[in-house]
Amino acid sequence: GGIAEGNDADIAVWDPEADLGEVLFMKHPSISAYVGIGSIVSETMKGQVLATFVRGNLVYRRGNHAASPCGRVILSSPTPE
């Protein structure tokens, strides 16, 4: 699809040059996420989502989420046995 008036849109506005500074995160072992405890890693990170639109509605902007949800629930249909 395309971005045009009247179309639903799911879009993330991204700044790839945003400097997040030093970030701590949990790193799982490379063999399996289920083996070992992993380790805490500190790295300098870049890139940040500035805003997110779902179906054309602003749902996230600079750390703030929309007051009410605008998505819809999609239930899977049971698979035949």
Q: Report the number of secondary-structure helices (H) and strands (E) in the chain.
A: 0, 4
For the chain, 81 residues long, the average pLDDT of each consecutive 10-residue run is 76 87 60 53 78 87 84 78 64
- Would you say 34 and 76 are in contact if contact means Cβ atoms under 8 Å apart? no
- Residue 51 has a pLDDT of 92
1-80: CATH superfamily: Urease, subunit C, domain 1 (2.30.40.10)
pTM across the whole model: 0.55
Instruction: HSE, CB side, 13 Å, CA atoms: give it for residue 15.
Output: 10
